[in-house]
Copies of this chain bind each other. A is one copy, B any other.
Amino acid sequence: MLIKVVNPNTTLSMTATIGECARAVAGPGTLVDAVSPSMGPASIESHVDEALSVPGILEQIALGEAQGADGYVIACFGDPGMDAAREAATGPVVGIAEAAMHAASFLGRGFSVVTTLGRTTGRAWDLAEHYGLSRHCRGVHACEIPVLELETDPDARKIITEACRDAMERDGSDAIVLGCAGMADLCGHISSEIGAPVVDGVAAATLFVQSLVTMGLRTGKRAEFAAPPPKKYSGLLAGFGTD
């Protein structure tokens, strides 16, 4: 089974970490291919970044289809381009916010999200609402560390751990959801520090896609998510045309 894990930003060190976290949980028969697109933002910290990461995601899904990928993970906590990805792919597609929030809902009545910049918390609430999980989402908290500094800031681990501890307390939550793919490798550490379940969306999405593929389940293709009709594209994006 081939699962393609798409990091929608172009920072390869982050793609490497994401790939490791996915591989750490994937089953023995599952091949994880972690990739970054050839185009798009170095990190995703705004609605603009998120929107402009979608062409790259679709590029990677087209490549995945050619490779025969069985399913896809979109590894950015804003779950960018999910509907488009589900249209474009044959196999199942799961976003890491989607997977983490659903997984956390299995672990108790409420979870708290801890993410990077405050300006992205609105998007997290939007997704919780969209997935039907806003009642389970007790709070979305920012630690104000930019995405790419997660790897370089020596205090990042400590700051995020404390933010998780505070969030649990303030929200009366049963579990933590980590709000950025770049935090995937902190999951075990934080969980043992705060003594509570901490969900990393990269692992969760990888396992949920693997589960869906194992069951032979893929996106329903009879209506909204059927392959898009052929279309002429212009200019910079002409290559995406299918007509």
Contacts and interface: CB of A to CB of B under 8 A. Distances in A.
Interface in A185-240: 187-188, 191, 195-197, 199-200, 203-204, 207-208, 210-212, 214-220, 222-226, 228-229, 231-240
Contact of A231 (B43, B188, B237): B43
A108 B211 contact: no
Given A51-B58, A135-B129, A203-B215, A224 B40 contact: no
Contact of A47 (B86, B187, B234): B86
Given A54-B52, A216-B191, A225 B43 contact: no
Nearest to A128: B132
B48 A107 contact: no
Contacts of A84: 46-48, 50-52
Given A39-B235, A218-B197, A235-B40, A28 B28 contact: yes
B214 A25 contact: yes
B214 A47 contact: no
Contacts of A39: 233-238
Given A48-B58, A50-B84, A55-B236, A103 B228 contact: no
**Copy total for this chain:** 6
Interface in A29-65: 37-43, 45-52, 54-56, 58
A68 interface: no
Contacts of A129: 135
A83 interface: yes
Nearest to A135: B132
Contacts of A223: 118-119, 122, 172, 174
A49 B228 contact: yes
Contacts of A207: 210-211, 214-215
Nearest to A241: B41
A7 interface: no
Contact of A224 (B50, B122, B136, B237): B122
Interface of A: 10, 25, 27-28, 37-43, 45-52, 54-56, 58, 81, 83-84, 86-88, 92, 94, 98, 102-103, 105-109, 118-123, 125-126, 129-136, 146, 168, 172-175, 187-188, 191, 195-197, 199-200, 203-204, 207-208, 210-212, 214-220, 222-226, 228-229, 231-241, 243
Q: Which 3 A-B pairs have the closest CB atoms?
A: A174-B220, A39-B235, A132-B132
